[in-house]
A and B are shown apart, each in its own frame.
Chain A
């Protein structure tokens, strides 16, 4: 029987005008697992990640070829609504970017625009608990989100994403702007979240990929400066028995 994947790409390429930034990516992401995308900087990791929930739509001149399938539907198909795509595939960004609203509103806003009908207070509490933030903020829900520390802000952003209950959460180097303790907390949180969500994370930190992910996609640019996935496998294989010489060089630190 055909295995069910959370999302799969088929010869997915991303172009900026005439320049091809990412070429022919074909990967199948397993549900309820953490998949890490690693590779040297400039290899198109973030570009690929942003293509997965059509955030690239906002970049002028950017267009995508190939297929990206979510439950059998091509997300770049003609009749696909990008707003609905993003509602199903949430995203956490490199730098914490809470809205300049209260902590409560940061979570309630997304739920409200998406037509949430339940009790908002419960949703806020549940989301904050899931993001391991509830105990720290439960007494100051009406305070500005900007009053939180960087690590707390990033967990708030995760909570806000969980609140709209997406299928997949994309994380674009979510800990790169944080201190080691906060980073650790985010990683622990990811392990909790994967019980319910599929997580795809871009990271430049190989230890993080090795520690936290189940699968790893290794990206590299080719001679035309287009990025591509050169190897995709279980994380422990990538880090112990890589098939590709370039992957081996990279994960052992012999690259760049």
Chain B
């Protein structure tokens, strides 16, 4: 064995080193457990969040009828037809109230579901006494039944899913039991549509300019830095920008006054959609730039080699090859816009509208706005429909993202 130059060796040897090493391994195990548990905490949080939402969207509800349905009709509730309901409403509502309804939308043209809701809301006047979460309902069913029987002898108790097909197609209502997300979903679709119409062409154009045309100089680098910074500006600041520019300065345009619309102010779908468009613009530019960057230079050189102009090269070669990437990025930007709430509040989402949006100059609400408003209400039945609306929102987002992933996998090309 060779001798080390250091005769008085200060390193632990043999068994001693083993001890030191074992101690080090114990420390290593502790740390590794800590690292892993950080990820576990993230996973548990996600599970808890999903559980929390699902838990809220199903469960017992105890309610009383102020007026028994049999006072209005002898037909069982489930079998009431549209005509019967229309007749009952006409008969029992005060003439003023009926006229107002008819003005909003002629009663004869309304759906059975719509009329049934009106019937329950206005005439029967259902009164919710309490709601319980899914876990509570399943675990403590007995106690809940006993409690309800004791406190509200007249009340009916049923297990209810707040998320039903009905929930999707019913417009807003001031009563949680009859409210739906139809108005909000349509509003969200309008907003996202306008945002993408605005941001996709401009964002792609900007990305093409930066990747294919822009000279490498200080001005280009300012544009680039600026885009990166805009992507980090809090969304509520975009809301303030939207309020100042689209709602106020451009009011003649965004209220539709220029196009002959008279009954609105600047707080319209158009203003909100454009605000969202500006908000997602930097994201779309950055994503599109990445997609364009991934197109290899050899392709451009090949196009130039056969005498193509710069635009021909971009239009016939660069864009088609980067399109899947650009679209994927846009879908991700869309899902960001779909979930944004704060700018919409600032731009002036309506707190209550039950009519479908009729065009870009309508007043608007959106799914996240509904969730916000319902969550901040004190009554638990509103929390239940907030949970239902969250599930709708998450499913929408999930399908958008799934589309993006599919698109990416389908068209992903290896250069």
A and B: direct contact (Cβ < 8 Å)?
A: yes
A interface residues, Cβ below 8 angstroms from B: 4, 6, 31-32, 71, 81, 83-84, 87, 111, 113-118, 123, 126, 130, 164-165, 167, 195-198
Contacts of B16 in A (CB 8 A): 115
**A27 CB to nearest B CB, Å:** 18
Q: Would you list which residues of chain B between 3 and 35 have a CB under 8 Å from chain A?
A: 3-6, 8-12, 16-17, 20-21, 24
Check B298 for interface membership: any CB of A closer than 8 A: no
Given A114-B12, A115-B20, 7 more A-B residue pairs with CB atoms under 8 Å apart are A81-B21, A84-B17, A111-B11, A114-B11, A116-B10, A165-B4, A195-B5
Kindly report which residue of chain B lies nearest to residue A88, judged by CB atoms.
Answer: B17
Interface SS of chain A: helix, strand, loop or mixed?
loop
CA distance A118 to B4 in the complex (A): 15
If A114-B20, A115-B17 touch, whether A126 touches B11 (CB-CB below 8 Å) is no
Contact (Cβ within 8 A) B21 A113: no
A165–chain B nearest beta-carbon distance, Å: 5
Q: Do B2 and A115 have beta carbons less than 8 Å apart? A: no
Contact residues in B for A4 (Cβ distance below 8 Å): 1
Query: Hey, which chain B residues are within 8 Å of A165, CB to CB?
Result: 4, 6, 9, 11
Interface string of B61-93 (1 = CB under 8 A from A): 000000000000000000000000000000000
A165 to B17, CA, bound (A): 13
Q: Decide if the interface of chain B is mainly helix, strand, loop or mixed.
A: loop
Q: Nearest chain-B residue to A197 (Cβ)?
A: B2
Q: How many residues of B contact A (CB 8 A)?
A: 16
A111→B6 CA distance, assembly (Å): 14
Q: Which residues of A contact B10 (CB under 8 A)?
A: 116-118, 123
A117-B12, A165-B9 as given contacts; A196 in contact with B21, CB under 8 Å: no
Q: List the B residue with the shortest CB-CB distance to A194.
A: B2
Q: Chain B: which residue is nearest A196 at the CB level?
A: B5
Q: Are A115 and B11 in contact (CB-based, < 8 A)?
A: yes
**Distance of A4 Cα from B20 Cα, bound (Å):** 29
Query: A114-B11, A115-B20, A118-B10 known; A71 and B1 CB under 8 Å?
Result: yes
Q: Establish whether residues B11 and A31, one from each chain, have CB atoms under 8 Å apart when the complex forms.
A: no
* Bound Cα distance A47, B203 (Å): 49
Q: How far is the CB of A137 from chain B (nearest CB, A)?
A: 20
**B339-366 interface bits toward A, Cβ cutoff 8 Å, 1 = contact, 0 = none:** 0000000000000000000000000000
CA A85 to CA B148, docked complex, whole Å: 72
Shortest beta-carbon contacts, A-B, top 9: A118-B10, A115-B20, A196-B5, A117-B10, A115-B12, A31-B2, A165-B4, A32-B2, A116-B10
How distant is the Cα of A135 from the Cα of B4 in the complex, in angstroms?
Answer: 23
Query: Contacts A123-B10, A164-B11, A165-B11; is A83 near B21 (CB within 8 Å)?
Result: yes
CB distance from B326 to the nearest CB of A (A): 34
- In the bound assembly, the distance between CA atoms of A195 and B11 in angstroms comes to 20
CB distance from A111 to the nearest CB of B (A): 8
A123 and B4 alpha carbons, distance in the complex (Å): 13
Which residues of B lie under 8 Å from residue A111 when comparing CB positions? 11
Q: Can you give 14 A-B contacts (C-beta < 8 A)? A: A6-B2, A114-B17, A114-B20, A115-B11, A115-B12, A116-B11, A117-B10, A123-B10, A126-B6, A130-B5, A165-B11, A196-B3, A196-B5, A197-B2
